[in-house]
Every structure is written in structure tokens, then in C-alpha cells.
Chain A
């Protein structure tokens, strides 16, 4: 399989919900990245988080092994700093080999709410 994915990824619309209902960790409300490394080399990721009214925080460093997938809950990132819940943020993820990243929000706070969303369409150039 030839190289599959990209080295730079952005999630502009992060916000980890505060309330959770049900047994955790299964039903912990969270923002989560699914990272696929379909290649044959372990890949280093560096995540930088951006905020509305202060300097960016990072890098949060992780490894995704070759031919594996890894889930990263943004809530669980602690070093260099715990990520605040219920606060708008954006994430920049840089990888030293191509990876594919999908972003998911699980919100178990209230029965009546339901999320929808997606990356906006980018024009060429």
C-alpha cells in the first residue's frame, strides 16, 4: 500500500462537553480523534491546541504504531496542561508520516440534544 493520508490536520470546532450520563469511560462525553496509520513506520504526532483568548498550548506528543489505529480523547491529554472542558478550541495535528484523522464528539449529557456537523468545503487554493 502506498502512502495513505496527510501530515497536517486541523479541527477548527473543538469543544469537550462537560456533562456526562452513564457509566464511564464508555459514556464519558468527549472529543476524540481516530488516527489511522496504514503505513509501515511508527508515526509521531504533535498536537497544538488554540484558544479564543490565550496563547496556544502544546505540543501534546503521541505515537501511533505502524499498521494500527489509535483513539485519542482530547479530555485525557494532560501534558503539558490539562485541556479545559466546555471551552472552544481548535486542534492542529502534525505527523511525521501520513495518517488519516477523523474527529468525533460524543455527548451524553442530555437526552434531548443531538449534534450534527462536518468540515466545511475548501476551495482549491
Chain B
């Protein structure tokens, strides 16, 4: 990330030029930096792995990398809670937890993000009984807009944690995060390939009989990859209508994320729908893609399940949810494709993923989130000067 060349996100579609890039080595340095920035009337934006495809990472002012704030800081065996530096990569989190007998309840499809970035942007895996990653956050140390360090915890202030869980750095910058985990566990991954009609007729049942379940739909051949993960010995058998194309067992942190590196750049749009609307929304998207967009789009759609939570700005706030993602090669045009299908998502009450492409602004988003006004009031109270805001975030949050 050389300053003269500017910065870009992972996929390359976001390019920006911060005025300065800082990488504090300690929490104190981070706090001093925020204090100094606030005193100068400037703004500051934290960045994780720059995996985001939406402009929440974009700034023309100070960009702060948390690369040096990483590693396992604390571990309480009895309560199964750990504290990590906010800049720790999820791959490192997985390995480290495994070595001390603990595990995350789930992961996203990739594990390239930092723990703060992944949690703060609403990253999730897939399963009817699985929350998004933010639900493991139960506390931590937060540098607030005045440069003070505040210890936060669910025990002291549950509502504050519910607001913080998905707040993508607008309420403060975490220097460390405390996570509630579970004992290590193995999972048996099986991927089944079948025809779309054979899948949809059984989807409700399939979604209930697997611990982790999601599916890829391929627009060019109408086939589906069902990705199922279960404790070994509890796997359903889909041989009657599908063929097995991947079969391996291992520790959860190795088996849940499918892609440990991403050799092919892509752009993505994702919306979360109420679970009962998921299938109808998918059917409409499929109809439209087959009649028009598969001329130029071959990349799959990803259909996932997220358990309802009470995180204020979570995609799954207050409702069992299904998320559907569209993908396109980064080197090909994608906006026309995404914006042609975005109205379908919105018709079904969809909420866009904070870190993926969408065109919504505050006026569109406010009706989707019952806790929107509460969040904005909290944000204004904590950061009246807008130290953690950027032009994009001002539009997004109507700040």
C-alpha cells in the first residue's frame, strides 16, 4: 500500500488516496493518534484487510492500519473467552484457538479478513442455527473519538455491545476484542451437485438437517452445489438425487472456510431477506438472470442462512434471514448486472451487506432497521465531531 500509488481494496474496484497511512504499534499509540486527529479537526478511518467491496473503507484523510495490534492477549479457560488484538487475521485466530482447544462457532466463506473487520462489517457463515460472526463479541477495548480508551463488556452494558457488534468503526476503533467461544470440534464437509429443481423441492428439509448449509447456483447450467457441514456421523445422505463432489473431515477452522486464498478477483452484491421470502426472491433472480444476464455472467449465486440476532445494524436483526449474493469477474462490467437485480432484493425487504456493493443511502436504510435511530443517536453522542466519518459514511448514515 505505497502512498504514491494510492490504496485499493482486494478486488481492485475501489481506489482511493488517503492523506496519510498510520500503523500504531500499541493501543497507546492508537489512542494518541486519535486524540491528535480529533484536535486537528480531521478524520480517521480504520482498515483491516481491505476486503470490503463497498466504500466503507474509503477515505481521503487518515487511514489507520491495525496490523501491529494482533495476537492472542488473554485466554480464560474456564469461561472459554479470549482476547485478540483487533488486527489479528481470522486464519491466525482459527489456528491459535485450535491450539488452545477452542473454536469459533462458524466462519465466513473466506478467512482473509481481520477479526475487527470481519465482525464489524457483519460477516457470516451459513446455517439456520448459526449467528453471524459479530455475536461472539462480548467485550474489548475501544478507542473513542476523544482519544480515550474504554473497556467495554456485555455484562456491564449489553445494549452498547449490541450497537458495537456491527458498527464498522463508526463508534470507535477497537484495539482488542474479547470473544466468547466454544470447545474445538470437527466437521465433515460434503458437497453435493444436483439439478436446481431437485434442490428447490427439498430445500426446506435440507436447510434443517445440516449444521452449516449453503448452496451455490450456477446460472450457465442450472446446477447447484449443496455445501453441507455436520459433526462426523450425523451427515444426511443425498445420493438419491445428487452426486458427491467433495468429502473431507477436519477441524472446523480448516473445513468451514472454503477459500483460503482467492486467486480470482470478483465483485459482489449481497442482500439479506426475511427467511420466508428467500426462496421467492431467489426464483425471481433466477428467472431474470436466465432470460437476460447469463449472456455475460457465469459466476455463481450464493444462498445462505443466518440466525436472527439482536445486533442493532446486523443484516439479520430481528428476523431469521437468508442472504443471496451475486458475483461477477472483476475484469467484466458488473454495475449494470447488480443494479438491474437490486430492485428485486428491495422488493422482498432486503438489507444490503455493509461491505459489498449496493446503492442505498440513509433514507433507504432507515426503514429497514428498527434500531436505526437509536444507533444514530449513540453515534452522534460518541463522536459529535465526526472523527470517524468519511464522505461516504456521511451519506450512508445521514450523519
Contacts and interface: CB of A to CB of B under 8 A. Distances in A.
Contact of B221 (A18, A28, A80, A81): A28
Interface string A45-86: 000000000000000000000000000010111111111111
Q: Is the interface of B mostly helix, strand, loop or mixed?
A: loop
Interface in A11-63: 18, 23-25, 28
Contacts of B298: 75-78, 82-83
A46 B297 CA distance: 22
Given A76-B298, A77-B298, A86-B295, A25 B222 contact: yes
A73 B220 CA distance: 10
Contacts of A84: 295-296
Indicate the size class of the contact surface on chain B.
20 to 34
B296 to A, nearest CB: 5
B329 interface: yes
A78 B299 contact: yes
B223 A25 contact: yes
Contacts, number: 53
Interface in B324-376: 328-329, 331-332
Interface in B221-256: 221-223
B261 to A, nearest CB: 14
Given A23-B195, A23-B197, A25-B195, A82 B296 contact: yes
Indicate the size class of the contact surface on chain A.
10 to 19
A80 B329 contact: yes
A105 to B, nearest CB: 15
B218 to A, nearest CB: 7
A86 B295 CA distance: 7
Nearest to A83: B298
23 contacts: A23-B222, A24-B195, A24-B196, A24-B221, A25-B221, A25-B223, A28-B220, A73-B221, A75-B220, A75-B221, A76-B220, A77-B298, A78-B298, A78-B299, A80-B331, A81-B331, A81-B332, A82-B299, A82-B332, A83-B298, A85-B294, A85-B295, A86-B295
Interface of A: 18, 23-25, 28, 73, 75-86
